[in-house]
Structure 1
Amino acid sequence: MLKYNLVLLFVLVSLFNYNRPIHFSEKEKIEVKDIYEEQRWIDSVYKKMTFEEKVGQLFMVAAYSNKDEAHYRSIDKLVTDYKIGGLIFFQGGPVRQAELTNRYQSKSKVPMLVGIDAEWGLSMRLDSTYKYPWNMTLGAIKDNSLIEKMGEQMAEQSKRLGINFTFSPVVDINTNSNNPIIGNRSFGETREIVADKALAYMNGLQKNGVFATAKHFPGHGDTSSDSHHTLPTVAFSKARIDSVEIYPYRKLIEKGLASVMVAHLNVPSLESQENLPSSLSSKVVTDILKNDLKFNGLIFTDALNMKGASNFKQPGDIDLAAFLAGNDVLLFAEDVPKAVLKFKEAFKKKTLTEKRLAYSVKKILKYKFKAGLKHYKPIALENLYEDLNKSEYDALNEKLFENAITTLQNKDEIIPITSLKTEKIAYVKIGDDSSDVFLNYLNEYAKVDEIKESTIELTLAKLQEYTKVIIGFHKADNIWKKNNPTFEEIRWINSILKQKKTILTFFTRPYSLPPTLDYASLEGLIMAYQNNNFTQKIVPEIIFGSTASKGRIPVSINDNFTVNSGIDTKEMKRLGFDVPENQGIDGSNLSKIDSIVKMAIDQKMTPGAQIVIARRGKVIYQKSFGNHTYTDNIPVQDDDLYDVASLTKILSTLPNLMQVYDKEEITLDEKLGNMLPVFKGSNKEDATLLDMLTHQARFQPWEAFYLKTLDETKHPNAKFYRKTQSKEFPYKVAENLYLRKDFNDTIINTIANSKLLPSKQYKYSDFSFILLKEYLELKTQKKLDVLANNNFYSLMGMNHTTYKPLEKFPLNQIIPTEEDKYYRYQTVQGNVHDMAAAMQGGVSGHAGLFSNALDVAKMMQMYLQNGTYGNNRFFSEKTMNAFNTCYFCDEDNRRGVGFDKPQLGTAGPTCGCLSMTSFGHTGFTGTMAWADPEKEIVYVFLSNRTYPDSNAANRLSRANIRENIQKIIYESIRD
């Protein structure tokens, strides 16, 4: 009305003040001009229409893009012969629908409005398109701005496909938990929840140029039957309906709602004629919706082929009755030719007037103008699929589900699980839908064993050795009406939770929570609402604390949980998982990494690789590439183990040393002679810890210790080796090859007796870390592998990080490193590649560790968090700062204390595109781990570039593969 008042004001002022200047703001001038152009177009189009063409505008006909040519020709005929005003598309695919839309629009005299049911996105009707959460899932979200953003994205996708109206949001208030048709399509059971969420949804759609349609008026939420099959009855009083069911409509209309869809309902308190559907009732459509609520937008009938309406009148008659009741658009008309004849007859009898016809037709034309159809352009088919499936849609979906998932029970704060070292956790799946993603992500945090037994008795027996049990109840989303647990499934759940501390997650609608569940015995209960990759990934984050639970259940469940129930859980500093865009990274740019790794594999720089990238505590990229070797067909998996070579220095030796330093039991000025008595009186006794860790202690870079143990044929000498392990030959160097126990003394003595380099300058050496292993073991009286596991790995969920991996993992999970033809004469797989580390039984301070990329990222994240991870503080921020300092940069030594740092000149270990606050290390087998406090980035690259021949290993390094990937990461940062 404001716009038309402005036009009237403009005309009156022009008539009565023609000799006086008139001043309008630029906004008012544009608005008046737009209104004038809109009205002129509407009037000009309407005047040129015949009666039949005007009537044709009232029909929005069902169209499919998954049918045959006969169907497509039938739509052609309705467009050309009956000049229908719109199409509502149903099942099909986006490209096919776009092609058909272009086809039909090209035949239409006046461009048609296109609508679609897209309550949770285009995927409600179309394959290969995007799917957002159910409304009931959205109802659990406290932050309505996320829902508005979803509406914006939905509008973007709809516009790309030439759609003007999306028949959503559903604003039915689901006060009947047994409602057979609304259920998850509702935002919840209170008018406030529904109104608030629907308003955000509507705002998102309409601010981005697509018209929202609130449905199903006057309210389908408390019905026990489905209007697709019969006429449901709403037995409430008029006052109750006005107060509850109509409340969301009133709120949305006040904020500019474009359209309303009227349901086929029997509402005796609103319409006295028995069994007259609300869609055909002028008391409902005209008196209440138009007059009482003052709604002047478009009014759509619900589909007229639905039995709730079609049982009342025949095609043609029902269309006319719906129009005379006050509806503007007749949706899913079954017989347009017959309906047009009925309209003609009514016009002749003056039952239908020109004024009534003009009112709706001009309103339809008005929305066509607003939709830009005056300047209609065909849909561009190029990149259509990509445009409808952008990575930022995943980013928002991640946030939506993260904010929705609701913790309903959390006795003794069982969620999140804090102490990983003392827990032994089992997983039991209930239900018949997939749970693979859920189990995989649980195992990213801790070792979680799936128990799969045929009976509950066998299951309980297996569970006896576990401290906690995680149960997932998994049912397919598309059977949401029938996904309640069976009696037997409930028996299994109750039996487990009575015996074990249990965290139970329902990956189903809230109404599937059974009243017979033993809630009193249950420690933790999470409602995930849906079963998909998002929820199966996020729930483990909540269980292990990398993400907090935030949702509030939007409906009441039995007598156990009232509407808006929910518990905020704690967030811990553990690596979580997210999509790049949510962490300020352009995910599409990261895809360039894939081609770089593929090129490296194709050019035989490495058979395969693992990469993990994290930002702000969230893994945003985790991929494995290639195969174990060039000749096998065993693909690299995320949980495969690589020999990380020199990364051992910062993953094992250094963090343990930092703990000793943090306790003030050693200083950086400590001398080697005091740390290891064997070095007293040697030329190295005055070497300080700082000099050793910065590689300027004048140590030799390397010593080929193994050469001393070979015979004249260059094979292992029987003097030093045996084929079987024994007390005298305990150190496993390779398969069926064991070194005698006293040779470690030879290694240490060789280092002690080696010459010093001529001057004190940076020269990388393994000797320091070989000796620091000896120091740590002497001081703690524990072997380094035990020390590292007890102090770090078991506490951090680094379950794939270990020395001597063959003692814990199958051979086929460990990547080979070399076909050794100079020392061990066999495939080196599961035994450390580094010869010196192998001669120390696989456990050394400079090499020997095996891990996967995610575990390495956890340690780097701990460093990035200044010594904390999970609920553990491993050392102080002060200690981290002390070790991440370049003390000798002005002397051309870039090294931190144990850590490598970015290059000072042109050559170095990084892309040269990050700050000097960053730190990390590289390894000979083709590994790299780097962390950047400034940009909060962790980057891990693992490979076996040494396979099959370590002499050719430098090809990966010369091609700057690791560095080029790092450069792409930094080029992808957007904030």
Structure 2
Amino acid sequence: MNTRILPLIFVFFITFMNAQEESPLDKKDTYGQNIWVDSIMKSMTIDEKIGQLFMIPAYSNRDAQHEADVTELINKYHIGGLVFFQGTPEKEAKMTNNFQKISKIPLMLGFDGEWGLDMRLDNTYRFPWNMTLGAIQDESLIEEFGEMLGKHHSRLGIHVNFAPVVDVNINPANPIIGNRSFGEDPRNVASKAVAFTKGMQSQNVLANAKHFPGHGDTDADSHLTLPTIPFSRQRLDSVELYPYRELFKNGLASIMVAHLSVPEYEPNTALPSSLSKNIVTDLLKEKMGFKGLIFTDALNMKGAANFSSPAEINLEVIKAGNDILLMPLDIPESIAKLKKAVTDSVITTKRLDESVKKILKAKYWAGLNNYKPIELKNLNEDLNGQDAEVLHYKLVENATTLLKNELDLFPVKDLAEAKIAYVKLGDADNTTFINRLNDYTQVDVVSGKNLNDVIKKLKDYNLVIIGYHKSNESPWKGFKFSNKELVWLQEIARNNRVILDVFASAYSLLDIKTFTNIESVFVSYQNSIISQDISAQQIFGALSAKGRLPVSIHNDFKVGSGINSSNLYRLSYGVPESVGMDTKKLERIDSLAQEVVKDKMAPGMQVLVARKGKVVYRKSFGYHTDKQETRVQNTHLYDLASITKILGGLPLIMKAEEEGRFNLETPLAKLFPILNNTDKKDISIKEALSHYGRLRSWIPYYLKTMDSATKKPSDKFYRHSRSNDFSIKVANKLYLRSDYKDSMYQAIADAPLLTRKRYKYSGLVFYLFNDYFTKEYKQTMDVLDDTFFYKPLGATTLTYNPLKKFSEKIIVPTERDLYFRNQLLRGYVHDQGAAMFGGVNGNAGLFSNSNDVAKMMQMYMQEGYYGGKRYFKAETLRMFNKRYYSKNNVRRGLGFDKPQINPKEKASCGCVSPKSFGHSGYTGTYTWADPESELVYVFLSNRVYPSAGNSGLVKHNIRTIAQQIIQDAIVDGD
């Protein structure tokens, strides 16, 4: 060989390779790809090549005749691809397998999945619309979104997703794009589209940018007519075309050409852009250098179909430079016309081969060279996995946008003083929003027939949350305020401090003439369940808002506007996988609970699990009683029994210690004078709270008040109606003598100590603290706990004597008491001693639902900080959560129970860390927190129903078995 030509060959080879690399359809295995494509090309007839240009519609919700018609078109005309529409994933998968089986060349499957398969298919996952995603600042989330859609499409055998929409939506009145756009800023649209494309194409699914050259600034719908884009070349270049150039730099595989009139590029204003050589070939392919696959928009749309006959249109589309005809009409006539055009050299063989080769390269790129039928097993599960839910929550959390925040209303901080009302505007559902708001504190729904009625009712509130809820059914649904709603909004805002939360397109804000009186404006973009859920959490500072407005609202809020809100470290709510737990493993609790109910270990129960500050499991099971008349709901209250020690007594003890009113070595007699001159006077606070003070376990105070003959409460001590002398209510229509508390305190003083120092669980010191707090703070324990802890925490159901605040319908009965009070105990504390103190005591007496118990436990685990407020110093929690007598086999901290030291004990599952703490309750309650695994666990039941002899729950260690299930559900290795 002549050595002088070697450099030329090398240069040609490098140039050839670089040219190949310019095509986004090239795989890394270019050699194998070219061999596969060339081998097919060599064997193809003209009819088969022409057939590759057609992508026809298929519907999985139609009858057998439709499937037969599609089959005939594939067999007769060698159709190259299908685009699927309405139906179900199972049916589509079966049809796909059948169609692929009969096709000589694997079919390319397309799909409109802009926000997921749900755009077309039932029983599939729906993600937010692009306008919502346009508010997100973290592009990695958009890439993750694209990747997730890629996985879903690939699982269903789809090779091209006709997304992303990259139209720059400048016109708020755009009837067809709107919410489908990432917004009005070309750079934001471009960056989102690039991230989405990278994610989806990482799963071997072709992204398809649409609608070229740009459908965002029009008030017409190309499905119905031919919209005009009447802008200058400079404007088109800087706005409409900008995202496409960025996508071409980043490997976009395919594009969709719209049916638009663009006079700046196509002088024939009646000619749709999809049929224009000036636009498809000269602009897109040559000037902009796009080498990927080019699809037309659907050719059955009026924007194209009105131009000429279907066959003529389809011929012009290919002449213009497109590769694939999407949803063409009159296929037989069109194929005949195309074949004649090739025969007559109107379309050259080279031109035909160019498109066919690109199509085959795309099929190889998508993996069709190794085609495998769709696996039908677990299809639905794979398309609706928890990973999609986790991502959806993250997307919404990062999208919601705080636009205005005067008076620092958002997030709501001071729950102790807050009196909050909610007013609904709009015509769509708001259930999730209301329920989640009330998980943080009491939020009253206020409504009325007329505005004056509503304004009058709102006078009692210092904050009004207005939710504007519009349909989330599709991105094309109406979002505008009615005139009546605008009047109501302004008048409510004029008279009250307001947070306006918009669950609709941000464009809805254009109707509001002034925002002067609206202190906080928050945009949630959509009225989905997750948007409502996340938004409520952000209003109360459990999550922070960090989105930026993707469009402009007059001069009030420019594109890119947004305020980052504070995170107050309240409990948030989400799915287990978001905190490294497994949903299916956690659901084993369901089976355990059902077993409890079935075997009558308890009529019903609540179970809550939180990790890393997020509630991820919260369910209720069974009924209030064995009559099975009232199902347990998450909002219902249970008697907490001895959990009261750590949620009622201990918080006040820690507070008093912090304030220097005593210390751990302070002898009991100094706090409780009744113990002076007794054998208990020198027992320290530390010993008593550690259950190492030789105190008796309990005293059955009520026995001395019973009539020995009738075995009923003695008339000497009780009355059926209240009076000054008989004022302590122990149950319905049963009042104890007002002075009997002194007798109970004396009984504690007189009770003999244990003969030796050893661990013995005792609640007696918590009775004594009841009197101490009343005298020290000049107020009863219930008021003190409510003031210092429960109200600020938003723990509205955590309360003593719940019948003073709540209907008995939501209070779960505890026991049918046949030995003391002779009645069903519902809203009256089960513990006899606590009842004889009027239901308010450090030993027992609290009622709550699981959610509010979790708030206290989370506050403890966060070392005294919660909701933007510090309740305790961190060192205080550490001091009280310490074992002081572990060498003496005392597992307890100060008030807090701790994991067992002796394996024979069942204080916990034995699977939690030494840092963990909690308490159990006689009525079948249990709560535990573990700072090491960041877990909070709450189990509430009325296992003593119908009587205390019902011991199955305890005997079978149900509460700690559930704890083991929870621990086993951790999968992130923490």
TM-score interval, smaller chain:
over 0.9
1:517–1:237 CA distance, 2 compared to 1 (3 A): closer
Task: Output the amino acid matched with 2:194.
Answer: L
Aligned to 1:187: 182
1:443 to 438, 445, 469: 438
1:74: how far off?
A: 0.9
Aligned to 1:761: 758
Distance 1:62 1:214 in 2: 20
Q: How does 1:192-271 map to 2 (within 5 A)?
A: 192-271=187-266
* Aligned partners of 2:421 and 2:446 also within 8 Å: yes
1:423: how far off?
A: 1.6
* Aligned partners of 1:515 and 1:558 also within 8 Å: no
1:33–1:326 CA distance, 2 compared to 1 (3 A): closer
Q: How does 1:604-683 map to 2 (within 5 A)?
A: 604-683=600-679
1:528 to 496, 519, 524: 524
- 2:393 maps to 1:395: no
1:15–1:364 CA distance, 2 compared to 1 (3 A): closer
- 2:915 maps to 1:920: no
* Aligned partners of 2:442 and 2:794 also within 8 Å: yes
* Aligned partners of 2:155 and 2:374 also within 8 Å: yes
The more displaced of 644-653 and 931-940 is 931-940
> Alignment partner of 1:152: what SS?
helix
CA deviation profile, 1:587-637 (whole Å, cap 9, x unmatched): 232122211111111111111111221122221221111111121231111
Aligned to 2:959: 962
Aligned to 1:459: 454
1:92: how far off?
A: 1.1
Aligned to 2:20: none
1:411 to 401, 406, 410: 406
The more displaced of 250-259 and 863-872 is 863-872
1:57: how far off?
A: 0.7
Q: Normalization by structure 1: what TM-score? A: 0.96
> Alignment partner of 2:460: what SS?
coil
- 2:341 maps to 1:346: yes
* Aligned partners of 1:653 and 1:769 also within 8 Å: yes
Distance 2:368 2:928 in 1: 54
Aligned to 1:708: 704
Aligned to 1:315: 310
1:575 to 534, 556, 571: 571
Distance 1:281 1:191 in 2: 24
| Structure 2 residue ranges without an equivalent (≥5) | 14-25
Task: Output the amino acid matched with 2:38.
Answer: D
1:86 to 51, 57, 81: 81
Q: How does 1:869-884 map to 2 (within 5 A)?
A: 869-884=866-881
Aligned to 1:944: 942
* Aligned partners of 1:391 and 1:588 also within 8 Å: no
* Aligned partners of 2:597 and 2:604 also within 8 Å: yes
Distance 2:682 2:778 in 1: 24
> Alignment partner of 1:562: what SS?
coil
Task: Output the amino acid matched with 1:522.
Answer: I
1:716–1:303 CA distance, 2 compared to 1 (3 A): same
1:481: how far off?
A: 4.2
Q: How does 1:582-621 map to 2 (within 5 A)?
A: 582-621=578-617
1:515: how far off?
A: 4.0
1:763: how far off?
A: 0.4
Distance 2:140 2:260 in 1: 33
- 2:49 maps to 1:54: yes
- 2:778 maps to 1:781: yes
1:834: how far off?
A: 0.8
Task: Output the amino acid matched with 1:767.
Answer: L
Aligned to 1:28: none
Aligned to 1:823: 820
Aligned to 1:896: 893
Distance 1:966 1:192 in 2: 50
Task: Output the amino acid matched with 1:622.
Answer: R
Aligned to 2:368: 373
* Aligned partners of 1:609 and 1:941 also within 8 Å: yes
> Alignment partner of 2:97: what SS?
helix
1:14: how far off?
A: 14
* Aligned partners of 1:180 and 1:481 also within 8 Å: no
> Alignment partner of 1:283: what SS?
helix
2:767 to 751, 770, 773: 770
Distance 2:430 2:810 in 1: 22
CA deviation profile, 1:388-416 (whole Å, cap 9, x unmatched): 01111111110100000000110021111
The more displaced of 620-629 and 888-897 is 620-629
Task: Output the amino acid matched with 2:676.
Answer: K
1:47: how far off?
A: 1.9
Distance 2:533 2:396 in 1: 10
> Alignment partner of 2:620: what SS?
strand
1:644: how far off?
A: 0.4
CA deviation profile, 1:154-208 (whole Å, cap 9, x unmatched): 1111111000100000010011111111101000101100000000000000112
Aligned to 2:332: 337
1:459: how far off?
A: 0.3
Aligned to 1:931: 929
Q: Normalization by structure 2: what TM-score? A: 0.96
Identity, % of aligned positions: 49
The more displaced of 872-881 and 432-441 is 872-881
1:517: how far off?
A: 3.9
> Alignment partner of 1:950: what SS?
coil
How many residue pairs were aligned? Answer: 953
> Alignment partner of 1:763: what SS?
coil
Aligned to 1:4: none
TM-align CA RMSD: 1.7
> Alignment partner of 1:168: what SS?
coil
Task: Output the amino acid matched with 2:854.
Answer: A
1:9: how far off?
A: 11
Distance 1:205 1:762 in 2: 62
Distance 2:514 2:720 in 1: 59
1:345: how far off?
A: 1.7
Distance 1:626 1:154 in 2: 39
* Aligned partners of 1:395 and 1:581 also within 8 Å: yes
> Alignment partner of 1:521: what SS?
coil
Distance 1:964 1:342 in 2: 73
Aligned to 1:862: 859
1:729 to 726, 729, 754: 726
Aligned to 1:38: 33
* Aligned partners of 2:471 and 2:477 also within 8 Å: no
> Alignment partner of 2:423: what SS?
strand
Distance 2:79 2:962 in 1: 55
Aligned to 1:692: 688
Runs of 4+ in structure 1 over 3 Å off? 8-16, 514-518
* Aligned partners of 2:113 and 2:163 also within 8 Å: yes
Task: Output the amino acid matched with 2:247.
Answer: L
CA deviation profile, 1:631-683 (whole Å, cap 9, x unmatched): 12311111100000001001011001100101111100111111111110011
Task: Output the amino acid matched with 1:605.
Answer: M
The more displaced of 273-282 and 959-968 is 959-968
CA deviation profile, 1:695-749 (whole Å, cap 9, x unmatched): 0111111222111122122111111111111111111111111111122112111
CA deviation profile, 1:460-482 (whole Å, cap 9, x unmatched): 01111111111000010236442
CA deviation profile, 1:855-878 (whole Å, cap 9, x unmatched): 000001111111122132222111
Aligned to 2:548: 552
1:139 to 134, 138, 144: 134
Aligned to 1:19: none
- 2:377 maps to 1:382: yes
Distance 1:169 1:322 in 2: 22
> Alignment partner of 2:516: what SS?
helix
1:13: how far off?
A: 7.3
* Aligned partners of 1:494 and 1:517 also within 8 Å: no
- 2:801 maps to 1:833: no
Aligned to 2:537: 541
| Structure 1 residue ranges without an equivalent (≥5) | 1-7, 17-30
Aligned to 1:21: none
